[in-house]
Structure 1
């Protein structure tokens, strides 16, 4: 995003950059800035015409048409801009959550209940919320596996798991689809008082409930959290009806797929301690999958 694009968004929306703020850039490529909107702090997300705006427009559509119907809290859309040059969202500002390793049991269980309520929503009828997740695509195209794992302590487990990608894909499909946030991890969960505020809806749509839970768990485990897997799943199942055995197998399949295909592009740049946590988890999940455990 160029300075001219940011200047255009600020002028059109009548905003001022907070001089002490530092721009960040999310995975979607949007520039994110702290701004002043009247007397309150806000967050401005800007995507220019030289970048892919599909995700930015998807998030804008969510805030315009669905955010008000959510059973969970989200930032409020204050203003927006979408023309041939720029897509910009002005959202209410909220404080970040603490790192995953600092979450207590009550916080994890609250999140599990909110995920279940979100997943229980009726699937939207509009076609633009539909699609095939990257995880499903990766499991159905195992030849695209990255060689990262073959250089780690989990190499033998990775080779074994890659022989079962068809079964992993079947397990992932077995739970059916639901409405998902699409990028659920602690950094996208803000706070207002003690309440969770779900941000970053660029990947919202229809997808696998197991894939969503497994992605949350995999990110949290890599961050050093001691995730209460069983307790979270018990709470989740108390809010949303699902076959427990089927879901547990799907969760193993989903997290294995995320480790095999999602992490290699990032793990090579992680600290050795994080790499080792990922490797241990891959070994553990491969053993569980091959033993038929849930």
Structure 2
């Protein structure tokens, strides 16, 4: 057994060799016992290594981890997973240097951790996202109960600035009085159609799902993904039995669990 096989199986090594520059990457790892020992001692697993060597500058990414991870990132709470996520896209070295120079003093005191940082910097506009957090998180979002995790979810996809501005202008007056918190908001705006979802919550939640007993948490789960309008309509049309003396077939918690699954329509059809 080679040192590398302590982390990656023989079959997976062969699969990696078949990828572009795979043979060169595997040879480099197999000939570098110091690097493998570093991975073993610092809990880097095969997934982390595969992410690190994917794409360009893979040697530099491996060597940066070996030379700096233990002294720079680990003391701030970063793990191998966080490192592998930070270096997966362009600008990886700048992202690592930003963390080295600023994370401890700027983000950590506001409750951000390595996981949040790796999410924030994963996609485009990462410098602007960090700058917004530095300038506004403490005064805008934190007083409304938002945490670092919520921020990292809000900014991970497109339209991140509009989502933050909506929260700044509307959350306290429109959503918070109905029991919605930062986590619920971050889940509602995570995918597409977030503006329509927020409009529905503001205009209709109180007179529909709220009356039926669906909590903000359950509502956020229901409208988080695709087909959310169909799900809402199903609940509005089917939740209450036609006979007013009968109780609903499901509790809000039970129905939320069913309706958030991929095959929700079939499951509901089978159970009726």
Report which of the two has the higher share of helix.
2
TM-score when normalising by structure 2: 0.26
Report which of the two has the higher share of strand.
1
- Greater relative contact order: 1 or 2 (C-alpha under 8 angstroms, separation 6 or more)? 1
Which structure has the bigger radius of gyration? 2
TM-score when normalising by structure 1: 0.24
